[in-house]
Copies of this chain bind each other. A is one copy, B any other.
Amino acid sequence: MSNIKEVAARAGVSVATVSRVINGGSVVRESTRKKVEAAIRELRYSPNFSGRSLRTSKTGKILVMLPSLKSFYSTLVASTEKTAKAHGYSMLICHTKSDKEAEKSYLELLKNKMADGVIFLSTRLTAAEMNTLAREYPVVQCCEYVRGSNTGVVSVDDEAASFEAVTALIARGHKRISLFGAERVGTASDREAGYRRALASAGLPVDREEIYYDNHSAESGRRRARRMLEAGRKPEAIFSISDIISLPALREFYEHGLLCPRDFSLVSFDGSEESSVSIPALSTVEQPREAMGREAFLELYNRLNDPDYEARIIRLPHRLVLRETIR
């Protein structure tokens, strides 16, 4: 593998000049630039990242932590990456599987100076851990975030969106509305809050039996449905905090002869690609994925360039999309 020295030798100049040609911005005579560029081409030279970043202590890379690879994230991170690229950064995806250890091991990349900052699309860190991290490195949380952390945040107004979704169910005349929720942290808790407020402001009681907690996985969707049926209840209307959960739940009900919207209504959250393709198509709260991905990077970028930049909370507008799962 060729290095800068060989290029310099071949072009008959010093390494400093080669460096200047590579990085631009300095004055180099046109003729020597040509020589150097020719040498670079002939030797198929490509600068060594370690050497460079050792010297400059910059990497031009950011991390994006993903709990899983779902198409929901595909457009979101594509947007992040596009924006990053436009600002001279490249992006590395870290697949955490919602595993705290995995997350921490990826964060080593930050400590090892392999990356300059990180965007979380979900995290298992505590607020305290997040804060120590954010004190030292640029951090932004997107979509999902832990409360009480002083990092940048990009999200929709989960509470308001959920209020709206549940209110739509109530407007259709539903009285018994179940919640397919999750551990009461982060957005799950906000979405539950919206659910509760909607019921309250319609004068409906919150029946604790109608709240089904579980984790965020696909299988858990089926489990919630099964639990409901095993409790001897049939669904009338359901507000589910994520499409990921809704689809398998729908499937489980279907296997028990219960169809949507014939037998019950469902409104869900995320606006994933699957939501418009499934049969029946999901009514769901759509998150502005492109904008979120973009804003997440921009917020990070501010901090990247200014250690004193004060982290912001950015709320983006959601959109309630009513499709076939509501009567």
Contacts and interface: CB of A to CB of B under 8 A. Distances in A.
Contacts of A112: 46-49
Interface bracket on A: 35 or more
Interface in A246-289: 247-248, 250-251, 254, 273-274, 277-281
Nearest to A250: B279
A73 interface: yes
A65 to B, nearest CB: 11
A19 interface: no
B46 A111 contact: yes
A81 B102 CA distance: 10
Contacts of A109: 49
A108 B89 CA distance: 14
A134 to B, nearest CB: 16
Contact of A277 (B51, B105, B251): B251
Contacts of A247: 274, 277-278
Given A90-B105, A277-B218, A113 B50 contact: yes
Contacts of A92: 92-94
Interface in A284-301: none
A93 B90 contact: no
A71 interface: yes
Contact of A68 (B74, B94, B280): B74
A280 B250 CA distance: 11
A124 interface: no
A254 B278 CA distance: 10
Contacts of A48: 54, 112-113
A49 B113 contact: yes
A249 to B, nearest CB: 9
A130 to B, nearest CB: 17
A97 interface: yes
A99 to B, nearest CB: 10
Contacts of A274: 247, 274
A111 B3 CA distance: 11
A66 interface: yes
Contacts of A69: 66, 69-71, 73-74, 77, 93
Given A54-B50, A112-B48, A95 B77 contact: yes
Contact of A278 (B46, B77, B95, B251): B251
20 contacts: A48-B113, A49-B50, A49-B112, A50-B50, A50-B51, A51-B54, A69-B69, A69-B71, A69-B93, A70-B70, A70-B71, A70-B74, A71-B218, A78-B97, A92-B92, A92-B93, A218-B273, A250-B279, A254-B279, A274-B274
Given A54-B54, A90-B105, A279-B280, 12 more contacts: A48-B54, A49-B112, A50-B50, A50-B53, A69-B73, A69-B77, A78-B95, A92-B93, A93-B94, A247-B274, A250-B279, A251-B277
